[in-house]
């Protein structure tokens, strides 16, 4: 990895470049995209300049408004061989709960899945809005205890348990034990 990729600003630079690229691709102005995503134009401007501090909720809203997966906004271009060392991957935290997501791998053009590691702590619930149509979330719990699934029918998971549910409906994640971690595969159908 280059020195730039190891600096704290690298994730913000990646997000800024991705937002500019996707907004240009969609042919939207800052004002139009901010309105569609339900965020302030000044917030979007800061994010595109690499000076903002985006939350999971803000990036999901922008992804939905742009019609692209969350991963397309946070994942840097993929080299032939990719090794991710602990602490080198951008971690995006929730404003609403003790929930953090780190994208490990996004689907290449034409591929339809993204891979995340989730870190959660008790004391907050991550309420997620519906993602782009056809999204399916696959979760494998690797440590702790977790309640996850659609808002109207979440399930409790123990270590090693797997759940799959529609990501295009409101859903939730809630840690029941300290140090809860899970692997999330986001499938886009």
What domains appear along the chain, each with residue ranges and CATH number?
A: 4-74 (1.10.260.40), 94-188 (2.60.120.10)
Ordered per-residue pLDDT tens for the chain, 189 residues: 333 333 445 688 889 989 998 998 899 999 999 999 999 999 999 999 999 888 889 999 999 999 998 888 887 765 555 556 667 777 888 887 788 887 776 665 665 788 899 999 999 899 999 988 888 898 999 999 999 999 999 999 999 888 888 898 999 999 999 999 999 999 887
Q: Model pTM?
A: 0.55
Tell me the CB-side half-sphere exposure of residue 38, using CA atoms within 13 A. 8
The CA-atom distances, in angstroms, between 184 and each of 1, 58, 132, 149 are 24, 19, 16, 12
What is the C-alpha separation between 121 and 161, in angstroms, rounded?
18
């Amino acid at each position: 990895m280059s020195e730039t990729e190891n600096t704290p600003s690298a994730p913000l630079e990646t997000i800024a470049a991705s937002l500019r690229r996707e907004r240009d691709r969609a042919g939207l102005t800052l004002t139009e995209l901010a309105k569609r995503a339900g965020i302030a134009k000044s917030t979007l401007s800061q994010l595109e300049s690499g000076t903002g501090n985006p939350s999971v909720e803000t990036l999901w809203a922008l992804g939905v408004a742009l019609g692209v997966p969350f991963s397309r906004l946070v994942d840097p271009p993929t080299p032939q061989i990719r090794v991710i060392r602990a602490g080198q991957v951008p971690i995006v935290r929730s404003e609403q709960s003790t929930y953090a997501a780190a994208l490990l791998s996004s689907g290449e053009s034409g591929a339809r899945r993204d891979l995340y590691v989730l870190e959660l702590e008790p004391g907050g619930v991550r309420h997620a809005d519906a993602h782009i149509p056809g999204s399916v979330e696959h979760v494998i719990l690797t440590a702790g205890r977790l309640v996850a699934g659609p808002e109207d029918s979440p399930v409790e998971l123990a270590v090693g348990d797997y759940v799959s549910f529609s990501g295009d409906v409101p859903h939730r994640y809630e840690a029941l034990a300290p140090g809860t971690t899970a692997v999330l595969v986001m499938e886009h159908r």
